[in-house]
């Protein structure tokens, strides 16, 4: 009996396949995308090399690099899961309301 389908990504779960390099790739991609700044991060920012990024959007893009299937930022539950995930990978999360726009 199959208890779970490993390829199925349940809502609210950050894919375990995402590694630090995928997050870095996602941020590099966001640097090139003009409308990235329109995605709001309401209270927290992922800070990398002095730049601010919306945590959930970064993870959503990183999921594409890690699993081949990009998630949507709204696929995650509250921000804490995304933020905790990034912190575990060694990234910095700060309270900030810039919406991931600060460069
Ligand atoms: Zn910010």
Structural domain boundaries in the chain: 42-103
- pLDDT tens for each residue of the chain, 103 residues long: 444 444 444 456 888 899 999 999 999 998 887 555 555 556 899 999 999 998 988 999 999 999 999 988 888 765 688 899 999 999 999 999 888 878 7
pLDDT at 1: 45
pLDDT at 38: 55
Round to whole Å and give the CA distance between 94 and 18: 21
Cα of 6 vs centre of ligand 1, distance in Å, is 34
Cα of 57 vs centre of ligand 1, distance in Å, is 13
pTM of the shown model = 0.77
Residue 92, SS3? Answer: strand
Structure tokens given for 31: 């640097």
pLDDT at 76: 75
Residue 8, SS3? Answer: coil
Closest alpha carbon to 90 in 47, 51, 33:
47
Cα of 83 vs centre of ligand 1, distance in Å, is 13
Spell out which residues have Cβ within 5 A of ligand 1, the ion: 45, 52, 96, 98, 102
């Amino acid at each position: 009996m199959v208890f779970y389908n490993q390829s199925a990504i349940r809502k609210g779960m950050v894919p375990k396949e995402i590694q630090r390099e995928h997050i870095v790739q996602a941020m590099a991609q966001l640097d090139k995308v003009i409308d990235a700044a329109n995605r709001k991060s309401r209270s927290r920012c992922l800070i990398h090399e002095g730049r601010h990024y919306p945590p959930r959007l970064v993870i959503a893009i990183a999921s594409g690099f890690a699993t081949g299937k990009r998630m949507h930022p709204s696929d995650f539950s509250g921000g804490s899961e995304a933020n905790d995930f990034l912190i575990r990978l060694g990234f910095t999360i700060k309270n900030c309301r810039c919406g991931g726009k600060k460069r």
